[in-house]
Structure 1
């Protein structure tokens, strides 16, 4: 067994828990209304996580669906390694980037008004 075969199996077997966790997170957000994992930054949710829940749910649902589709393509269709590894790798990276973008927008300070300074405070 060569290193490339081992890495191929690790990527393939890794798709199962990845798809499970992403689809479970989408399920929790959409049906259980659990917003505890929405747009986290440093482990802390934003002030209004329900505002960003649809985006996080959509990201997890699409990414989990693509992961399941890749698994099915491998098992049923016998798709070439180059194709399914590119799809799986791109999906994993794009999901991380999308989650990062949502979390940073949810915690952004550029849209918030600053409190007015107290009289006599030239801080």
Structure 2
């Protein structure tokens, strides 16, 4: 199964009773395994979970900590990029050159990288006081 197919499949399981905007995401770990996640809304909006965060959590739960590829899909007129928080989450586990495919359910795609999604990202080196 391709990464975008995994994201497309898991998108169907999204819990989006408020926005009705289902999102699916899939990440590939260093091992080659695919981890998928979907958005899970909550009536208290800030308490929901993004699809990208769910995919990353599944990867970490499986014992991996390095993303080598990302795919995100939604039913929208144009490919939807990850929110700011998810960009930082992707940057935590993916190098600058990790490819990211953003797609619509109608087949439009946009290719980018983790680094292009989050230039000037906050890194552990920013906390180094030595």
Same fold (TM over 0.5): no
**TM-score, normalised by the number of residues in structure 2:** 0.23
> RCO greater where, 1 or 2, for CA within 8 Å and sep 6 or more?
1
Give the structure with the higher percent strand.
2
**TM-score, normalised by the number of residues in structure 1:** 0.24
Give the structure with the higher percent helix.
1
